Structure 1
Amino acid sequence: MSVKVQPTTAEIRQRFLDFFVQKGHYLMPSSSLIPRDDPTVLLTTAGMQQMIPFFLGRETPPATRLTSVQKCFRTTDIDKVGNERTLTFFEMLGNFSVGDYFKREAIAYAWEFLTQVVKIPPERLHPTVHPEDDEAPRYWTEITGIPDEAIVRLEDNWWGPPGAAGPCGPDSEIYYDRGVEHGCGRPDCKPGCECERFLEIWNLVFMQFYQDLDGKRTPLPRKNIDTGMGLERLTMVLQGKQSVFETDVFRAIIDRFATLAGTAYGRDARTDTSLRVIADHGRALVFLAADGVLPSNEGRGYIFRRILRRAVRHGRLLGLEKPFLAEAADTVIELMGGHYSELRQHRDRIVALLSMEEKKFNQTLSTGLQLLTELLAELKQRGTTVIPGVEAFKLYDTHGFPLELTQEIAAEQGFTVDVEDFQEAMRQQQERSRAASPFAQARNDQQLAEVAARVTSTTFLGYETTSASGTVVALLVNGEEVESVSAPQEALVILDRTPFYAESGGQVGDRGLLKGMVGTFVVEDTQRPLKSLIVHYGRVTEGYLRVGETVQAEVDAQRREDTMRNHSATHLLHKALRDLLGPQVEQRGSLVEPERLRFDFASPRALTSEDLVRLDELVNSWIRADYPVITEIMPLEEALKTGAMALFGEKYDEQVRVVSMGSSKELCGGTHCRATGQIGIYVTTQETSIAAGIRRIEALTGRGAEQYLRGRKLLVETLASRLQTQPDHLIERVDQLRDELAALRRQLGQYQREEARRQAASLAEQAREVNGVPVVTASLSAPDDRVLREIAEMTRNKLGRPGVVALAAAYDERVSVQVLVAPELVQRGLHAGKIAAAVGQRLGGKGGGRPEYAQGGGREKEALSAALALVPSLVEQALS
């Protein structure tokens, strides 16, 4: 009796590739897990991602028929890893047609491979299609003999892009029938049912459309085929296993760690969960590290760190107290390094990285788990199931215990974390750190002086390149020299040579990255605190850096280019101002950033609008002339004799750098364009005075100027549309509306005056006699204090004899009171200011003013009647 030999994962992978190569497909190597030119996803999630440029016609494919086995990573179900089905890292088998064959051939190839190459019984295979796809079911019937009524229509047979936009179209999924024993028992059980009977193994996507960010679909120029089949699922089927974790690759990893933990897979459900987590996460970490993903607190690095921490914690649950991920790495490399040569090539780096990160986290985990256990016990006694955010932050800030791990462990025991409270504690800590920064800077300065005395000066390479290698000669953290720094530490890095420009001469310092073998340092600023040293300020976001290590220094090239445009434009601006206003113009300061330029200069007068127009025209004419930017090193005296301009108050070395472009010639150590044409365009945005005889111009160039002009164009078009005119007639339309508004205001003023006279006459008739003096109090509806006072004055005049008028009006959030007293009554002891003060106080506010006129008010509108009722008694008291 012969025993059927099960194919290994490696054999199945090779059979698939061989089959499609024989069908005329070009074998594409797997792309990196870090997507190329695809900002919509952090990691490669599907086999077709590297094919998108071909499908969209942006790039020419090496052939119109392609096949690959692609490394993939999906993050949506990380917390579910540990069950029998969920993976983060997996291999996707695929065949692709770029405008070559379409639905019929794709279906035929899939059926032939499944039934003839890997010998799956045809009766076990069940295709599904999209309800609106009439072609696919016809081809399935013609090629396989499956009757149309046996082909299941599913609404979700539609494949969208891996990110927010991209190619898409209907698909046809192939399901494998695992047997009735896995089913739900319902007579209508079929592919698409939520039970475990039918397992999707292959998806044939018929790329017909492109979906944009708004969800709009347009037909692609050429129809394409994209198929995807999970190698792990196919292996599970062909090896007759109940779970992907029972296949040869995963069992080798699981058994290795079960042995280390003194257990066996299948003995205990909780143990099995932890073994599956380690198997998946361990494999994923190896591939992420091989492709250059490093642990950090954001982006891909955050995913790396998160799954590493989950793996380490589940190792602890198995009793693995010592570091074990290096063994996971070697097991994975041994199993899969034959096909993925990068695993063996980077073995030492992978092992070093995993060991370092695991060791660091182990220290965190021991203390954090103990403290969290004690905290949860205490909270249970209090009868609460919410961990205060400040306690979670204390675990994070003091002991490095990550929030997501606190949340995961808390959830397992029925607790939640107050995340808002956590974030507030984080914010307060950041403010305290910023408050202490001057002291750290003082320590930095002292230590940098010691570094400068010990090492040679930094060589600047930034005139020629924005990328170069350099050796780390010193690292500083909080004013102390250290041998290494790791994520997420802030630090100062000094290299023996660097392309990073240090802030000087008004030009801001460069930003970018320093990349080591296992670490990435984000340069947030570059300074030259001492003449001999260029210092990179920033933080480690991935891995670590060490003194003596060689790193690749990469300046943010686009930011540098934007800065150079603004710097070169500053020189042209200086020359243009002197040409227009005279040689008395002297530069008194500048700021050159990637976003804008600012130029301060001595000038006896402000620039007129005509001056600014001529200034822009002159600078842009020099840009269009595309003068070469020439730099020369020469003695200072010689440079000055050639007419090169030296900046006011600046100190220069004996040897200086002269930058010339057209008729402009200045002493300058900054970075510049190669020719003035690269500036693109220049636009002055503002001209102001900043001191006596000192003016300031702000301007934009290049991309910033383009964006500014687009915004102004949009503004003009929007205004024209809202004013129902054409942009060319906008001024005439505004003048017309201004005239109409003025006429309406005159009409409104006339109406208000007439209404005021009417109210005044009515109020005068309602005057109350107090000791022979007419007193008017009332609450009115008035648009503002000016109208209210006019009504009060008219009312006083309508009385015909000396009297007192106190009128009030309620606005949105306050009450205003106007008080008028006839001059004759002032001599008898009445005082408008005292009346207004008393009324205002009753309204919860204040008041005051002259004897004849005063005003007051407050916010307590409900007290208005009582406040006005005080006026007659106040008059009576004063007259008595």
Structure 2
Amino acid sequence: MKSQDIRQKFLDFFESKKHSIVPSAPMVVKNDPTLMFVNSGMAPFKEYFLGNAQPKNNRIADTQKCLRVSGKHNDLEEVGYDTYHHTLFEMLGNWSFGDYFKKEAIAWAWELLTEVYGVNKDILYVTVFEGNDEDGIPMDQEAYNFWKEIIPEDRILMGNKKDNFWEMGEQGPCGPCSEIHVDIRTDEEKAKVEGKSLVNMDHPQVVEIWNLVFMQYNRKANGSLENLPAKHIDTGMGFERLCMVLQDVKSNYDTDVFTPIIREIETITDKNYGKNNEVDIAIRVISDHVRAVAFSIADGQLPSNTGAGYVIRRILRRAVRYGFTFLNKKEPFIYRLVDVLSKKMGKAFPELKSQKQLIENVIKEEEASFLRTLDQGLVLLNGIVEQTKGDTVSGEKAFELYDTYGFPIDLTALILSEKGLKLDEEGFNAELQKQKNRSRAASEMSTDDWTILVDDAEQEFIGYDALEANVKITRYRKVTSKKDGDMYQLVFNLTPFYAEGGGQVGDKGYLKDTHGDVVYILDTKKENNVIIHFAKNLPDHLTETFKAVVDAKQRQRTEANHTATHLLHQALREVLGDHVEQKGSAVHSKYLRFDFSHFSKLTTEQLRDVENFVNARIDGKLPLEENRNVPMEQAIANGAMALFGEKYGDTVRTIRFGQSMELCGGTHVKNTADIWHFKIRSESAIASGIRRIEAITSDAVKDFYFDTNRAYFEIRDLLNNAKDPVKAVADLKDENNELKKQIETLLKDKAKNIKGDLKNEMTEINGIQFLAKQLDLDASGMKDLCFELGSEYNNLFLLFAAENDGKALLSCYISKELVAEKNLNAGQVVRELGKYIQGGGGGQPFFATAGGKNPDGIKEALEKSENYIE
């Protein structure tokens, strides 16, 4: 059975059981501070489990893209070494929100596996929660009784809290679970060891394929459990593992989910899968990781140096280094796998097809960048090896190479072993642990349970129509972190405060009680569909009615910038073409940032055309046309633009200004005239095929023109009130260039004049002409002098130093004959002597330079240079 058919049979089965089939949510999480990525099938439905929202149907089924590479669920380092762990995987799931419970979930799981898919009942085992005295939770006798009606009791196994009690996190909904395991070993293997003894023992052919979670408890901050008001079902079946079972293979990578990618890797690298263990691991790593990276980019997360972007970059770099080390690929190639991937999975996940070109461009650029890093790292590692005394390389040095330059530690260890050296792994791990401790300390946070003041789960946002309202605090909790100290999170029954989302910052403002006391709202965010207001302290009278007031000036400026992003999007598509798509935005009160897909730098004329287009719409005084609660299909049919990577509900809000129409939940001006003016401040590249525009509107533009005008008159004053300041500056520039040329000529003449004196100062040591001296020259002059002297000698060692603008410079020249005969290296010399001037440098073996911030160290550096030839 093909993987596409396996996926469809699952969805069809649960549709027949009156479940609504919903599409996979974007893998990148935006409104849940506890997650970077969707790491389980239930993550997109947390708001339903928490009771913060009601689903359209209490029965739902889907296939969800999941990523497990950080935090509690981290499978990254296992990927490739076994045959059943992945970074990205599909989780097939069926969900009940207060509807059916254990009996139906168990019966339907068994029916689907054994009757629809035809899995042999004799290879299945199930587990049941055995209970836990510490929590006071009894054994799940109810699930056990349902299971023994359909499977022999000797195939029902007891599971501990680790394996059979599922928790959302440190706090929140949780409950016992029943796992279904499959034993696909050969009959000969089964005869040797009984399958039940291998369940949950990480055996590659005795694996869990489906987990049925029975959500019936709530975990509180103090660790205690309470019953949930409604019981839920949350199931997750590993799609890749299910395909392994139904396609009768022994590895996920032997299913048709992966084989087309593996065949393409074999073609590109001229390596064969299944012949060599190291090659096999590398191919599995790459075939897995390209899926994770491609889906992440399609969902709007580009590789970067922070947060979720860093996780994606780390995954891709792991794939690159396996290709570099074990497949001998020294040029980008992983991007070429995207075509196969989009053909294989594009039907189920159309974003792979629509974003294919962007995904390829980004991956190719990231590969090339990291390969350059590897080349640089190899040079640095060679330098470390040269400086190493003995047979063990310092763990501290290796960690610096890993942490500062991104050079993989396993690659360091491999190269050292090839050179007959060892790595101080304990020292490296100690440095790594120090870094982890620093990061952990910086991000430590404790969260109290919610204190309920009003038993009202419904919350209304009225901020589109009002900036003030009389509100009640329905619940609050204290959150403590090293970064912010104590903060309080408040929830109101209704709120005019807009919560951060869609790139727009959250509102600020204040609460005022009847006594005139004020509590300032410092930020507003949304968590699992609840709008949360942040304050440094609690009101004195928590149960009163408060006047909630949004900072109107900040909201107005933010609205102007948000509306400008819509007009900018329209302008870019008009000026550059329909290939332009929004890839991210940040809307603040002082500026806006807009990321978009485009293949080249915008010209001055294009930027001017974009600005003029937006300002024409501002001058046109276009009114806001807003429609709320529009069915998604109708909004798209009417021409509204949806953004990839955004999660939309069944009904949406549309925003139109003239011909610009988008799905958007943010706040906007009532008329484009309120923006006043639009000005682009910068345009740049942030990734291959992704450009960024930063711009300002409203008061920020007024300040910009005021500052520009003031600077203009200050420049005119400096130019003695020249009638044409531009021409006056151009004349000064020409004059400056001419003077620079004259200075360069003078310095060269000066160097020639002192060359004879320097030749007389040389001393011969061990057959080498040696000179170490401080000169009154710049870096260029010292270089010219080195090569002029070098042309007259084949046994020359020079170290020149100079002080320029309070900084120290070193230049080292060694005749190429000495480099070959005496194993001298100018690059190594300046790196080591650079420590005396508190700097560093490098270059070629025969010529290298260094710079530092301590000119007082020049004398010692010159003195130490003689040690290299004595």
TM-score using structure 2 length: 0.49
If the length of structure 1 is used for normalisation, what is the TM-score?
A: 0.48
Structure with the bigger RCO (C-alpha within 8 Å, sep 6+) is: 2
